[in-house]
Amino acid sequence: MKFEQRIPRETSARLFEEAQEYFPGGVNSPVRAFRSVSGPPLFIREGHGSHMTDVDGNRFLDFCCSWGPLIHGHDNAHIRERVIETVRRGTSFGTPTEMGNRLGKLILENHRYVERIRFVSSGTEAVMSALRLARGVTGKTRIIKFEGCYHGHVDQLLVKAGSGLVTFGTSSSAGVPESVARDTLVLPLGNRELLEQTLTEQAGQVACIIVEPVPANNGLLIQDKSWLEDLRAVAHKYGVLLIFDEVISGFRVGFEGAAGYYDVQPDIITFGKVIGGGFPVGAYGASKEIMDHIAPVGPVYQAGTLSANPVAMAAGLAALEQCLEPDFYTRLEARTHEMATALEDYARERGYPLHVPHIGSIFWLAFGTERIERADQIDPANMEYFKVIHHELLQTGVYLGPSGYEVGFVSSAHTPEDLEEAVTKICAAMDVAFAR
């Protein structure tokens, strides 16, 4: 398929060619290579508010938002000033700082589902630490995860299902030993009977169930509240811990994340993205009883040189303070719903096979007309539609993440006028995609 480039990308193309001499595939995270869409990846020069500008001078209305962290958009003044003020005093000391206390206090005073928290440097590190904690608390080794949920590049979770329904995982990445993958059981989302059957057979060896309560790394697979309630009940029944991976949904669908949105109490929650205000921060939290298993109080070891460094803590504090402003999440959700509804109405009127699942300020362009709750319901052939839509949007100044499996994000910097513009341009891109 040949795509007509109507915007200049020569500088990005040159920088990408150069980058391939330095980095595997020319990138430092695989999806950035643009292999699922058209042309070279964009090299971004700067971002302000709801827009960002690439090195060729093209300006884009941004719905990737750095894959979710930028809930207040680019170059947010409150975050910027707090970070600059902090940097002037030093960037890292390898000691506790008051800024870490302030962010921890703010979270715990406004999040009913955790009593203690530990800061780390990424969502992947948070998940890795949460798994170790669950094993340390229970004395068991196996993990249950679900197809369609992604939990970072942790060895134990870079697995896929084998043959049959109840399956031990098999490695989905080179470098992950099968001996590690075999301790992970992979089940389909939403299958209550199979979950109970698995735990009946394996409960004596299963430390935890880990799930994205809002699966948003392989499409947006919105689950019924009853499924999450069942996970809670079954985990309690069989004496295993329930981990909510809220690296994406935490502080995004509400300050209390999916735990608060659905009012389901997990045993451990992992955080990332929004919690760092644009800086690399992750965290995991739980009850005081569970968190007291972590060193130096307990026997579960975890450490990090840059954990809770003052600059990242300052950025996170400035971001979350704004999230606590009255009606912040109500306004953001309403704007996202209005945009998604307008896109769905347009698609339905023209008979286009597209709908827009959304929750909080997260949305996804889903192809087909039926609700998608499991990864196996996504038809890979439909990603050709996304490829066309993504290309057309770049030509008209709208940026989505460069994969049809990735979700989009609305920030508080997106104005009603921005969203109206996006609807107009996405509808025009639909016309091109579905005319082929």
Q: Domain boundaries in the chain?
A: 10-75+327-435, 77-323
Domain at 77-323: CATH code: 3.40.640.10
The string of DSSP codes covering 360-398 is TTEE--EESSS---SGGGS-GGGHHHHHHHHHHHHHHTE
Taking 3-state DSSP, the helix, strand and coil percentages for the chain, each rounded to the nearest 5, stand at 40, 15, 40
Q: At what angle do helices 225-238 and 192-202 cross, to 10 degrees?
A: 10
CA dist 430 and 409 (Å) reads 19
Quick check: 190 and 148 in contact, CB under 8 A?
no
Give the C-alpha separation, 206 to 209, whole Å. 8
Looking at the domain 10-75+327-435, which fold is it?
A: Aspartate Aminotransferase, domain 1 (3.90.1150)
Write out the catalytic residue numbers: 150, 245, 273
Instruction: Return the bridge partners of 51, or none.
Output: 48, 61
pLDDT by 10s per residue, the chain, length 436: 678 889 999 999 999 999 999 999 999 999 999 999 999 999 999 999 999 999 999 999 999 999 999 999 999 999 999 999 999 999 999 999 999 999 999 999 999 999 999 999 999 999 999 999 999 999 999 999 999 999 999 888 888 754 344 445 667 778 888 878 889 999 999 999 999 999 999 989 999 999 999 999 999 999 999 999 999 999 999 999 999 999 999 999 999 999 999 999 999 999 999 999 999 999 999 999 999 999 999 999 999 999 999 999 999 999 999 999 999 999 999 999 999 999 999 999 999 999 999 999 999 999 999 999 999 999 999 999 999 999 999 999 999 999 999 999 999 999 999 999 999 999 999 999 999 7
What's the whole-model pTM score? 0.96
